[in-house]
Amino acid sequence: MKRQGLQFDEEGRLRHFITLDGLDRGTLTEILDSAENFATVGARQVKKVPLLRGKTIANLFFEPSTRTRTTFELAAKRLSADVLNLNISTSSASKGESLLDMLRNLEAMNCDMFVVRHNTSGAAHFIAEHVAPHISVINAGDGWHAHPTQAMLDMFTIRRHKGDFTALRVAIVGDIKHSRVARSEIQALSILGVPEIRVIAPQTLLPPEAERMGVHVYHSIEKGIRDVDVIVMLRLQRERMEGALLPSEDEYFARFGLTEAKLALARPDAIVMHPGPINRGVEIDSAVADGPRSVILEQVSNGLAVRMAIMAKVLGRGPQSEEAA
């Protein structure tokens, strides 16, 4: 049966990558397997494969993020695509040109893909609804809604260290309420069969629907990370402090910050993750962030391979083993 929905074309093939909602385990596993092939490209003398030669990818970042934009740009170039980085703050959008007018102009330049980051939830979905049929859209983060490529690079990192998802306990710690990363991670972990997903946060940083997300809720980090295999620390945005959701950074760190003493409560081979950027001394201690159980820098490296795999898949060409291996 053909898959339906905005993300799929008439033949049931993945056309856009906006959210993990509606995707199945086979699709996610296929992306992870493809990323394994692409992971070796960076070690070559010539760090390119020809899969997207002749394609043009436009990075539309309405919200700043140097690391995410750079990894998307590098991933596209390693696939031999041409890349257009649109500086929204100095573009005609800031001079009154509507979003749809901007899209039409980019379509007239024969772009094949838009990578979209926006501070409004649903922006990537809106763009995907209005682009020409030959264009694919990848969501690089929209508001509080979703960040599917971050979730997938984290799944890739977890699989490389832990193998079988169906035997894991995973804890996500921090600002669950405002985190698009947390929402996408919970979806990915659920799809891949993780039996126990824990979220750890103060009540003010939990969404009201937390219990319906299929997770176990903890308000104590000591209880929440006991015997877990993976710990995902989320960035605490300092504006939350100004909104009276938390009393102070020091108190937050004392109650929910990850230290070596707290990490000792997890399984001995537990790994520590963070989507970045890190607030040292707020959500995580430097000794943990830089310690032997941290895989934070691996996440950055893995982001290239995963984003290459996603770009190749939505543009209709998976990696040929002889080209990508």
Q: Is 67 a catalytic residue?
A: yes
Of 44, 47, 48, 67, which is the active-site residue? 67
Of 117, 125, 177, 313, which is the active-site residue? 117
The dihedrals phi and psi of 67, each to the nearest 5 degrees, come to: -65, -45
Distance separating alpha carbons of residues 165 and 155, to the nearest angstrom: 9
Locate the DSSP E strands across the chain.
56-61, 82-87, 113-118, 136-142, 169-173, 196-200, 216-218, 230-233, 271-273
Of 16, 19, 55, 68, which is the active-site residue? 68
Tokens of 313: 């898949």
Q: Is 68 a catalytic residue?
A: yes
Of 66, 90, 95, 212, which is the active-site residue? 95
Of 16, 78, 145, 147, which is the active-site residue? 147
Q: Is 223 a catalytic residue?
A: no
Closest CA to 55 of 74, 78, 17, 82: 82
CA 301 to centroid of chain Cα atoms: 13
Q: Is 77 a catalytic residue?
A: no
Please name the residue that has the structure tokens 């007239």: 108
Q: Is 161 a catalytic residue?
A: no
The dihedrals phi and psi of 14, each to the nearest 5 degrees, come to: -65, 120
Q: Which residues are known to be catalytic?
A: 67-68, 95, 117, 147
